[in-house]
Amino acid sequence: MALTQMEQDLLREKIFAKVRELATEFGGALTYNQLMNFEIDGQRIALVGQRGIINPQLFDATLTVTSAAEGPYDDHFDENGILRYKFEAGDPRAGSNRKMLVAMETRTPIILFERPISNLYVPYVGAFLLKADFEAGHVEIAVDSTIKAQVEAGMSEVERRYATVEVRRRVHQPLFRARVLSAYDRRCAICRLNHADLLDAAHIIPDADEGGSASVPNGLSLCKIHHAAYDRNLLGIDPDYKVHIDAALLEEIDGPMLQHGLKDMHLTEITTPTTKANKPDRDKLAQRFELFMAS
């Protein structure tokens, strides 16, 4: 049974809200099974599948597209936060491509899933298809309405520099978070807390710094309190993965959070990912640890 346009918009909004909620709960990314068996209002609507473009019958326009990053640290976004998504093979105006063009023409928001590693889907809810390049065989997708507006307005040099920071925050940060949390099995490296919505992906060397990158070895999965303590240099991690608590803090006497959450962590070893390539970079830890020692 065909839905009216208003019913489609409402259902789309509901799906968006639920995907956002699930992503928050599960550390910024979802699995194939979660998306395959996705249910809303008691009906199952698969959000992923064999194809990259998902066009449920209920909708006139595409609902989701999935883009698989090629390298372990790369993604498909350019410096403006735009992703070029290839048409499905064949006629770019037919098959699955047709509803994608409908989404573009009607400016209907979609969910873009970026899959940096297998079975890890990072959702960008409310992405927009900007334009189609039939010659090159792709459509351009902006991850959200802000990026869309920036691109459409054209930008001055100052705006562009500011936008780069914004793009990093909006586009690359979700991928970084998903990769890091997944590498640490959604636990804090220091206290092992296992609640994804209380975890952050902390940078060892800040993102904007020379040498700071959004790759997993420059990251640590930390709970909110340990992340804040690390950023404030109240807590340091040496290149041998040992935790150090600020000397003044060790002298302080206070309640259980200070005692168990911080002081008891002194000289314990952090839990690192089992995959060697994902372990924290010792040179970066050393560089950062100097800052802790100097503070």
The binding site for Zn ion (CB under 5 A) comprises 188, 190-191, 193, 223, 226
State the minimum distance, in angstroms, from the CB of residue 113 to Zn ion. Answer: 29
State the minimum distance, in angstroms, from the CB of residue 266 to Zn ion. Answer: 14
Q: Identify which of residues 144 and 238 has a Cβ nearer to Zn ion in the complex.
A: 238
State the minimum distance, in angstroms, from the CB of residue 190 to Zn ion. Answer: 5
State the minimum distance, in angstroms, from the CB of residue 226 to Zn ion. Answer: 4
Q: Identify which of residues 61 and 183 has a Cβ nearer to Zn ion in the complex.
A: 183
Q: Identify which of residues 166 and 231 has a Cβ nearer to Zn ion in the complex.
A: 231
State the minimum distance, in angstroms, from the CB of residue 193 to Zn ion. Answer: 5
State the minimum distance, in angstroms, from the CB of residue 257 to Zn ion. Answer: 11
Long-range contacts of 227-231, Cβ-Cβ distance < 8 Å, separation of 24 or more? 227/200, 227/202, 229/262, 230/202, 231/202
Amino acid letter, residue 14: K
CB burial of 179-189 (b: ≥16 within 10 Å; e: otherwise) equals bbbbbbebbbb
Q: Identify which of residues 170 and 226 has a Cβ nearer to Zn ion in the complex.
A: 226
Q: Identify which of residues 138 and 242 has a Cβ nearer to Zn ion in the complex.
A: 242
Residues 6+ apart with CB under 8 A from 58: 3, 8, 11, 45
Q: Single out the residue of 95, 12, 100, 16 nearest to residue 58, CA to CA.
A: 12
CA distance 27 to 35: 15
* Rounded to 5°, angle at Cα 24 from 26 and 213: 85
Q: Identify which of residues 147 and 199 has a Cβ nearer to Zn ion in the complex.
A: 199
DSSP string spanning 78-97?
-TTSEEEEEPPSS-TTSTHH
State the minimum distance, in angstroms, from the CB of residue 189 to Zn ion. Answer: 8
CA distance 178 to 7: 32
Q: Identify which of residues 115 and 177 has a Cβ nearer to Zn ion in the complex.
A: 177
- Strand ranges for the chain from DSSP E: 39-40, 43-44, 53-54, 64-68, 82-86, 110-117, 120-133, 138-142, 199-203, 219-223, 235-237, 243-245
